[in-house]
Amino acid sequence: FNSVDGVLRFGIAQLNADGSLDPGFQARTTQNGIVQSMTVQTDGKLLIGGEFNQVGDLSRNFLARLNGDGSLDASFDPGSGANDIVHSVALQSDGQVLVGGAFTSVNGVPRNRIARLNSDGSLDTLFNPGTGASDNVYAVVEQDDGRTLIGGRFTSVNGVPRNWVARLNA
């Protein structure tokens, strides 16, 4: 969307409890940027993933974190970001961020459609899904035991046959 109740809002807006537009939330993704997934951190910051390449005046390829007022949180720096769409963003209990999508690398490191970021946005290289998912990942969630569930259009994960749903070890 490009507007809410006649006010310009490109791809993301915040509503008050009564459904009215919150004028204090001023997120600025590119005009053609689509936010496909978001999650709110305990500190009120918002992690977003989607089809955008800029937030505010800074380059943010498909991943970003916003402050409570919608401005870009520059302390969350995913480097060059993902190289394609991020369909799903999930926050782990330890503050790390799981992402799934159509990408094949994050910050230049091969990660086929599933990756984990540290709380500062850098790639967590300890989380290595091997060859990753064979096709797009549309849903990512952490289980209580620390393992990760993914869902999507894939038929294998790290070379193991898995049709549309898989569970990854921590």
Burial of 60 (C-beta count, 10 Å sphere; 0-12/13-18/19+): buried
In this predicted model, what pLDDT tens digit does every residue of 109-120 receive, in sequence order?
999 999 999 999
How much is the pTM?
A: 0.91
Q: Which of 72, 58, 97 is nearest to 12 (CA)?
A: 72
Say how far apart CA 134 and CA 20 lie, in whole Å. Answer: 42
Say how far apart CA 12 and CA 3 lie, in whole Å. Answer: 9
The per-residue pLDDT for 27 is: 78
How many C-beta neighbours within 10 Å does residue 78 have?
Answer: 24
In this predicted model, what pLDDT tens digit does every residue of 52-65 receive, in sequence order?
888 878 889 999 99
Q: CA-CA distances (angstroms) from residue 70 to 7, 11, 56, 81, 127?
A: 15, 12, 10, 19, 29
Amino acid (one-letter) located at 63: L
* Cβ pair 131, 110 in contact under 8 A: no
> What average pLDDT is seen over the chain?
92
Q: CA-CA distances (angstroms) from residue 134 to 36, 82, 84, 165, 168?
A: 20, 17, 15, 12, 14
* Cβ pair 107, 123 in contact under 8 A: yes
The per-residue pLDDT for 157 is: 97
The per-residue pLDDT for 59 is: 87
Residues with Cβ < 8 Å from 126, sequence gap 6 or more?
A: none
In this predicted model, what pLDDT tens digit does every residue of 138-159 receive, in sequence order?
999 999 998 999 999 999 999 9
